[in-house]
Amino acid sequence: MGLSSLLLTAALFGLKATALNNGLARTPQMGWNTWNSFACDLNETVILNAAERIVSLGFRDLGYEYVVLDDCWSAGRNSSGYLIADSEKFPKGIGHLADKIHELGLKIGIYSSAGKWTCARYEGSLGYEEKDAALWASWGIDYLKYDNCYNEGEEGTPKLSFDRYNAMFKALNATGRPMLYSLCNWGVDGPWNFAPTIANSWRTTGDLNNVWDRDDVNCPCSELEGLDCKTPGYKCSIMNVLNKAVYYPSKAIPGAWNDLDMLQVGNGGLTDDESIAHMSLWAALKSPLLMTNVMTKIDPPTLSILQNPAVLAVSQDPVASTPVRQWRYFVDDVDENGKGEIQMYSGPLSGGDQLVLLLNAASKAREMNATLVDIFWESGPKGTAKQVKQHWDVYDLWANRMSNEDAAAIINGTFTGQSPYNLTAMGGAHEVYSRPLPSNSKVLMGSKVGSVQPSGTVTAHVRPHGVAMLRLRATDKKDEL
């Protein structure tokens, strides 16, 4: 559909989509983004190669559906003020690329900034919101990542930031084409307070780096400073971002999510345990899951981490509740950067299940435990929650991780038979994640590793810089009280 005809259709029929009712991101969005691996070296070939691998390797069947072009795709504006695509990078145009992405059963995203320029100093969209939104809609764009660079001082209060980002929300809405709106203002002015009515997600901090836990001058804010950080920066470690995000879990609701930034799994810099912990925490905290690794060079451990349906089922759980950090303790066995702590998160899942995540961010493996009193504290303090008096089975969500042999066979195209991780064959990823998970499904539940008596304690062995990600399910046993 051409730009003029799309605008006419929207005008005639009054097509509208409001942020929380646009049918998008009812659970956190999943997909792939160009930036961390390609930066400004993106082009049509890079993107189509990644999209084809997303399909052939089975990522689409698990719910990864967006392919997002980040910065550096444009070549300025034409005489009418419309953005034009870089013809060397996209010789057939982005509309053509969008058609190819859609033919693969995927959706396409694009990038701009709510400023004069983008972060890589290409043309921004401040003051051009209606033109740019209409253009993207005519190309068939399904997703906008909207950054915060060169905003000409239009920040400093929530109202200033809201008005600037609301202008693009209104412009997207006016096109009549549903486009997921991913606001990327790095947590400035507290977007968890002003963005839920206009955006499907909002970045909460400076840019995430592929480093576990290290202070960096480029990421000057930490802990509670993140609630009003004037210079969010970049090169923020996983633990830095995590320890800023714990203060507003309740702000995330269906269709509107706290975005802890894109995944660094598969980009080097992290151990296998750190990558598992990163994936687990981002899924548990309901952050969007945007992969950024080079899909054509993916290795078996990376594939098996990104393709764990039991973990993805937590991310996409229909209860849409972000777990709360129930406790945190600093420990003596610090790592080379002087860091060492342990934490416990818990929160409800569908079907009356409960998520428990034990994080060991110290340098030695340890036995960790969490009492049912602590696990269900949000339902009733000091053991008053009814769940404390129940019996629970405990499932380890990483116990059935895909083997390196199977992952290698999938990558090499030698895997025989139908993949047990093909949720499309089970009715579609969204459908599978939205319905009750059968206890005997190791694909979706992991493996049962124990049980807990009323008023009991959950225990797990947790490796350094690792997690135990557990799903509790009430048994049919009667209370013995």
At 396, which CATH number?
2.60.40.1180
d(CA 198, CA 202): 10
Whether 12 is in a domain gets the answer no
Of the residues 293, 316, 339, the one at which a domain ends: 316
- Statement to judge: residues 91 and 71 lie in one domain: yes
352 and 227 within one domain: no
What is the model's pTM? Answer: 0.94
pLDDT at 22 over 90: no
Single out the catalytic residue among 70, 147, 259, 393: 147
- Torsion sign over Cα 382, 385, 391, 393: negative
Q: Based on the fold, state whether residues 175 and 298 are members of the same structural domain.
A: yes
Rounded Cα distance, 275 and 73, in Å: 30
Candidates 195, 192, 205, 198; CA nearest to 179 is 198
Question: Is the confidence at residue 428, as pLDDT, over 90?
Answer: yes
Structural domains counted in the chain: 2
Label the pairing between strands 143-147 and 180-183. parallel
Decide: helix, strand or coil at residue 418: coil
Q: How confident is the model at residue 20 (pLDDT cuts 50, 70, 90)?
A: low
Identify residue 117 by its one-letter amino acid code: W
Percentage of residues of the chain with pLDDT beyond 90: 92
Which among 70, 207, 317, 396 is annotated as catalytic? Answer: 207
Domain end (from 268, 300, 316): 316
Find the length of the chain. Answer: 481
Express each pLDDT in 337-360 by its tens digit.
999 999 999 999 999 999 999 999
Tell which phi-psi region holds residue 453, choosing left (phi > 0), alpha (psi between -120 and 50) or beta.
Answer: beta
12 three-state secondary structure: helix
Last-in-domain residue among 272, 294, 316: 316
Average pLDDT for residues 62-79, to the nearest whole number? 98
- Helix and strand numbers (H, E) in the chain are 15, 18
Asked whether residue 15 is assigned to any structural domain, the reply reads no
pLDDT for residue 145 is more than 90: yes
Q: Are residues 66 and 191 in the same domain?
A: yes
Same domain, 145 and 227: yes
pLDDT at 19: 43
Active-site residue flag, 132: no
Beta bridge partners of 112: 146
Residues 240 and 350 in one domain: no
Backbone angles phi, psi at 288, to 5 degrees: -50, 145
Same domain, 52 and 194: yes
CA–CA distance, 346 with 344 (Å, rounded to integer)? 7
**Is there a catalytic annotation at residue 147?**
yes
- The burial of 427, by beta-carbon neighbours within 10 Å (0-12 exposed, 13-18 middle, 19 or more buried), is given as exposed
Question: What is the residue range of 400's domain?
Answer: 324-474
> Torsion-angle region of residue 105: left (phi > 0), alpha (psi -120 to 50) or beta?
left
What is the rounded distance in angstroms from the CA atom of residue 291 to the CA atom of residue 125? 25
pLDDT bin (cut points 50, 70, 90) of residue 2 is low
Tell me whether residue 2 is in a domain: no
CB-based contacts of 55: which residues, under 8 Å, 6+ apart? 104, 105, 106
Tell me the CA distances in angstroms from 307 to 400, 410, 433, one per residue in order: 11, 11, 14
User: Sign (positive/negative) of CA torsion 142, 147, 150, 156?
Assistant: positive
Q: Would the pLDDT of 199 be above 50? A: yes
For residues 239 and 346, membership in a common domain is answered with no
Supply 28's token pair. 């956190």
* Euclidean distance between CA atoms 89 and 72, whole angstroms: 10
The per-residue pLDDT for range 452-480, each reduced to its tens digit, is: 999 999 999 999 999 999 999 999 644 33
Answer whether residue 344 is part of any domain: yes
Whether 25 maps to a domain, the answer reads no
CA distances from 245 to 54, 150, 251, 379 (A): 29, 25, 11, 21
Using only C-alpha atoms, what is the Rg of the chain?
22
What would the pLDDT profile of 376-421 be if each residue is shown by its tens digit?
A: 999 999 999 999 999 999 999 999 999 999 999 999 999 987 787 8
In the block, which residue shows the tokens 């750190």? 274
Q: Are residues 183 and 41 in the same domain?
A: yes
Tell me, yes or no, whether 176 and 81 share the same domain. yes
Per-residue HEC secondary structure of 176-206 comes to CCCCEEEECCCCCCCHHHHCCCCCCEEECCC
The enclosing domain of 96 has a CATH number of 3.20.20.70
Does residue 267 sit in the same domain as residue 341?
A: no
Tell me the average pLDDT across 89-104.
Answer: 98
DSSP letters spanning 227-268? GG-S---S-B-HHHHHHHHTT-GGG-BTTBEEE-----TTSS
